[in-house]
Amino acid sequence: MKKLLFVILLLSNLIAFSQNKEKEYKKFFENGKLKEQGYKNKKGENVGIFKYYYENGQVYVTGQFENGKETGKWLYFFKDGKPYMTGNFENGEQSGEWKKYYNNGKLMQLEYYKNGYLNDEWKFYHENGELINIGNYTNGNKIGEWKAYHENGKLSSIAYFENGEQTGEAKTYYDNGQLWGSGNFANDHQIGEWKTHDKSGKLIKSEMFDKDGKLIKTVDY
C-alpha cells in the first residue's frame, strides 16, 4: 500500500512538473537566421531571458520576462554590437534611469521613468558631449522651464510648460548669443506680438497673433 502511494505521489509530481515546464521558443527571419530566442510558460507567456537579433546575427536587445511582462535591466545594441540604450522595467513598464548612446559611445539622452511615464529631469546631448536640451517631466508631460543649447554651448532657446503645453514667454537665440525671436504662448499657441531680429540685434520683423494662435498682422523692417 505504501509503495502504491509512493508511485501515485511520484506520478503526480511528474505531471505537475510537465505542466509547469518552460518551453524553448525561437523565431527566424525568412533567410533562416535567428530572430528571437527565449522561453514560454504553459500560458504562452514570455518568461526568463529573451534575445532579439538583427539579420546580421548581432543581438538587438536582451532582457528578462516574468509572466509575460518585461522586468529588470534591458540592453539594446546597434548593428555593430555597440551599446545603444539601457534601462529597467518593472511589471512591464519602464522604470528608473534610462540612457541612450551615440555609436561613438558618448551619452545621447538621460531620462527617468515612473510607472511607465517620463518623470523628473530629462537631458539630451550633442555628439560632441555638449548639452542640447534640459527640462522636466511629470507623468509624461513637460513642466516648468526648458532650455536648448547650440553645439558651442550657448543658449539656443528658453520656454515654459504647464501640463505639457507651452505657455508664457519664449525666446530663441543665435549661436553668437544674440536674441533671434521672442514672444508669448498660451495653451500651446503663439499669442500677441512676436519679434524677430537679425544676428546683429536689429529688429527685422514683427508679427501679431490672436488668442487662438492665428497670424493677423506682419510688419517687415
**Could you tell me the CATH number of the domain that includes residue 123?**
3.90.930.1
Q: Total domain count for the chain?
A: 1
Residue 178 forms part of a structural domain? yes
More confident residue, 2 or 197: 197
Asked if residue 12 is part of any domain, the answer here is no
pLDDT at 64 over 60: yes
Quick check: is 92 in a domain? no
Model pLDDT for residues 111-123, shown as the tens digit of each residue: 999 999 999 999 9
Residue 91 CA to residue 86 CA, distance in Å, equals 17
CB 119 within 8 A of CB 101: no
Whether the CB-CB separation of 157 and 148 falls below 8 Å is answered with yes
Domain membership of residue 138 (yes or no) is yes
Helix (H), strand (E) at residue 91: none
Residue 156 lies in a domain: yes
Supply the range of the domain harboring residue 191: 119-221
| CA neighbours closer than 13 Å in the CB half-sphere of residue 96 | 11
Residue 187 in contact with residue 167, Cβ under 8 Å?
yes
pLDDT bucket at 15, cuts 50 / 70 / 90: very low
Confirm whether 190 is domain-assigned.
yes
- Four-residue CA torsion sign, 55, 61, 66, 70: negative
- Flag whether 13 is in a domain: no
Quote the CA–CA distance of 185 and 192 in Å, as a whole number.
8
pLDDT in tens, 142-180: 999 999 999 999 999 999 999 999 999 999 999 999 999
- For 181-206, the pLDDT digits (tens) are 999 999 999 999 999 999 999 999 99
Q: Give the three cell numbers for residue 206.
A: 514683427
Three-state secondary structure call for residue 39: strand
What's the average model confidence in pLDDT over 70-99? Answer: 98
- Predicted pLDDT of residue 21: 72
Q: How many residues does the chain have?
A: 221
Q: What is the mean pLDDT of the chain?
A: 92
Q: What is the pLDDT of residue 10?
A: 42
Does residue 82 lie within any of the structural domains? Answer: no
C-alpha distances out from residue 12 to 8, 9, 74, 99, Å: 6, 5, 37, 48
